[in-house]
Amino acid sequence: MLYKRSSDLFKQAEQVIPGGVNSPVRAFKSVGGTPIFIKEAKGAYLYDEDGNRLIDYINSWGPMILGHAYQPVVNTVIERAKKGTSFGTPTELETKIAELAVSMVPNIDKIRFVNSGTEACMSAVRLARGFTKKDKIIKFAGCYHGHSDSFLIQAGSGAVTFGSPNSPGVTQGTAKDTLLARYNDIDNVEEILEANKGEIACVIIEPVAGNMGCIPPKNNFLQKLRTLCDQHDVLLVFDEVMTGFRLAKGGAQELYNIKADIVCFGKVIGGGLPVGAFAARNEIMNYLAPLGPVYQAGTLSGNPLAMAAGLEMLKALNSDSEIYNRLEEKTKYLHKGISKVLIENKITHTINRVGSMISVHFAKDEVVDFETSASGNNQMFKDFFHGMLNQGIYIAPSAFESWFITDALSYDDLDNTITAVDRVSKQL
Ligand SMILES: *Cc1c(COP(=O)(O)O)cnc(C)c1O
């Protein structure tokens, strides 16, 4: 496939945007080559500036669970825009999406909307600290919770891809309050809790990790984490920015039947517009300004276009009783198909999957945490990525990302993808 125009556009972009991109992992740094500029998208496909059609497995990194340019979302955004794009006052739309979200997600009474997943996680941790009157937090190596200072301590995807897990600009003071645990290692969490008794505000986790590839919680890890948090009087924060409204209506809390104290959202909840949110029971949410002392605000928070898009997305997911089964079936089909051809072609690999999140690791051992994820064959991933791209399949340009399955993918698309994997893996 030819990428002449993308390559020209990238050179132009590099003159005025650092690295030519507004978010680092888009830059193809870890796989080499030039990022592809997209002109438009519809359903399961991206159409790039050079006239190629690509089957999309990134889906804007998660939000487009029903495919691109999903008609009800597009229509509502157009209609809302005609009535004004931002007022800086309350609107009825905000209450409607809040009511719907609260009805779909277990264990939350109130929700506050922000503009990104980063903002949601940052605010959730401030709220946890304010509510518990404690400073330290525990996060897991390889989990990503956005780019705010407290979380850039061995973060996943973008930061890991560049081999600089600790970003300059994050102060030692901030870093010392973030304690790192190993994913799926409950003894390690317990050790850290014991060593910091009475000092920890919360444990924050991706209940299914998606930013070091897809890594499911093993051996009742989440249940044990809940028990430990209760014993130590520490809040459990589920970062469901990726898993929320994707793994089930009620996200990972519903799928694993675990109650988190605070839940963060992003991605799907905005239907493709910039939205994040965090939610909890009344006791905690009432600690937030203007009711309580913990400050948090946003000029464009609850923006009418964004709320309208998110509301249509949640309505569509809420009213379709088969959606999560369909997504699961499609992902399982892809999993089986890819496994089969990789085995036939003698490619060492591990595939992880939960619901509509899936990742192919060129690693021989089970991938259960950051270390095992990082042990994959990176050169093979690069070759695989570019091979797939040549076959018209767009997967994330990093070995540390999940693929996201959308309902817009047909079984023909999945078969074509499996055929592409077969062709590419013969050349690996
Ligand atoms: C994407 C992501 C974030 C950050 O969301 P942004 O909207 O990119 O700021 C936080 N947590 C998780 C689990 C994510 O996948």
**List of domains in the chain:** 4-69+322-425 (3.90.1150.10), 71-319 (3.40.640.10)
| Closest Cα to atom 8 of ligand 1 | 117
The 10 Å CB-count burial string (b at 16+, else e) for 211-248 is: bbbbbbbeeebbeebbebbeebebbbbbbbbbbbbbbb
With a cut of 70, say whether residue 385 has pLDDT above it: yes
With a cut of 90, say whether residue 109 has pLDDT above it: yes
Tokens representing residue 168 in the block: 């300059």
With a cut of 70, say whether residue 358 has pLDDT above it: yes
What is residue 154's predicted lDDT score, i.e. its pLDDT?
65
Give the CA angle between residues 373, 46, 419 to the nearest 5°.
Answer: 60
What distance in Å separates the CA atoms of residue 364 and residue 198, rounded to the nearest whole number? 40
> Is 394 a catalytic site residue?
no
Pocket-testing residue among 61, 118, 151, ligand 1, by greatest number of atoms within 8 A of Cβ: 118
What distance in Å separates the CA atoms of residue 264 and residue 119, rounded to the nearest whole number? 9
Structure confidence by residue, pLDDT tens digits, 360-371? 999 999 999 999
With a cut of 60, say whether residue 127 has pLDDT above it: yes
Distance from the alpha carbon of residue 178 to the mean position of ligand 1, in angstroms = 18
Distance from the alpha carbon of residue 408 to the mean position of ligand 1, in angstroms = 23
Looking at 91-95, 158-162, 228-232, 382-386, which range is the least confident one? 158-162
What distance in Å separates the CA atoms of residue 29 and residue 221, rounded to the nearest whole number? 34
Distance from the alpha carbon of residue 340 to the mean position of ligand 1, in angstroms = 32
Residues contacting 4, CB < 8 A, separation 6+: 50
Pocket-testing residue among 121, 149, 160, ligand 1, by greatest number of atoms within 8 A of Cβ: 121
- Contact between residue 151 and residue 137 where contact means Cβ atoms under 8 Å apart: no
With a cut of 70, say whether residue 297 has pLDDT above it: yes
What is residue 354's predicted lDDT score, i.e. its pLDDT?
98
Residue 271 phi/psi, 5-degree rounding, is 55, 20
CA-to-CA dists, residue 210 to 219, 283, 297, 399, 417, angstroms? 18, 30, 28, 11, 21
Q: What is the pTM of this model?
A: 0.96
Q: Please give the average per-residue pLDDT across 230-248, as a whole number.
A: 98
Cis amide leading into 207 (omega within 30): no
With a cut of 80, say whether residue 111 has pLDDT above it: yes
Confidence of residue 255 (pLDDT cuts 50, 70, 90): very high
What is residue 328's predicted lDDT score, i.e. its pLDDT?
98
Confidence of residue 162 (pLDDT cuts 50, 70, 90): very low
